[in-house]
């Protein structure tokens, strides 16, 4: 479950710049999430970085989240939308027709991409 908490915290960091600054300044900002010391370290490192645009999602947090078991569909979808928005990319398509409800198109969501119209 901890990986889900890491993804939720990272999603919040991507959508709320003030929260990201709080995480960078003080680990206590992550107290609402059940995180290991390693996860706190990864998130704080990410919060302190100056990554922008297309480089978003290439830092330590996504490196951590991309390994191991996939995230739940909802968490993976939320993270994908937050990554796209932070990078200035469209996010509506992640919830539209043809999007795999299990976030299968996202490498951290598991599964495989579902082409538009192929819902089997």
Q: Supply the pTM of this predicted model.
A: 0.76
Residue 115 lies in a domain: no
Give the CA distances from residue 44 to residues 24, 34, 75, 104, in Å, rounded to whole numbers and listed in that order: 5, 15, 20, 28
Q: Which structure tokens are listed for 1?
A: 């479950």
Residue 10 lies in a domain: yes
Q: How many domains does the chain have?
A: 1
Residue 22 lies in a domain: yes
Residue 93 lies in a domain: no
Whole-number average pLDDT of the chain: 77
More confident residue, 93 or 10: 10
Tens digit of pLDDT for each residue in 10-63?
999 999 999 999 999 999 999 999 999 999 999 999 998 876 655 677 788 988
Domain that holds residue 49: 2-69
Residue 9 lies in a domain: yes
Residue 78 lies in a domain: no
Residue 96 lies in a domain: no
- Whether 47 contacts 86, CB under 8 Å: no
Residue 97 lies in a domain: no
């Amino acid at each position: 479950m901890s990986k889900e908490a890491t993804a939720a915290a990272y999603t919040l960091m991507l959508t709320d710049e003030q929260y990201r600054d709080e995480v960078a300044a003080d680990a206590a900002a992550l107290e609402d999430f059940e995180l290991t010391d390693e996860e706190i370290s990864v998130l704080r490192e990410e919060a302190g970085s100056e990554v922008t645009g297309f480089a978003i999602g290439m830092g330590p947090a996504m490196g951590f989240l991309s390994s191991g078991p996939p995230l739940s569909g909802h968490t993976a979808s939320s993270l994908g939308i937050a990554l796209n928005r932070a990078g200035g990319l469209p996010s509506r398509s992640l919830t539209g027709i043809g999007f795999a409800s299990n976030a299968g198109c996202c490498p951290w969501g598991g599964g495989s991409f579902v082409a538009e119209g192929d819902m089997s």
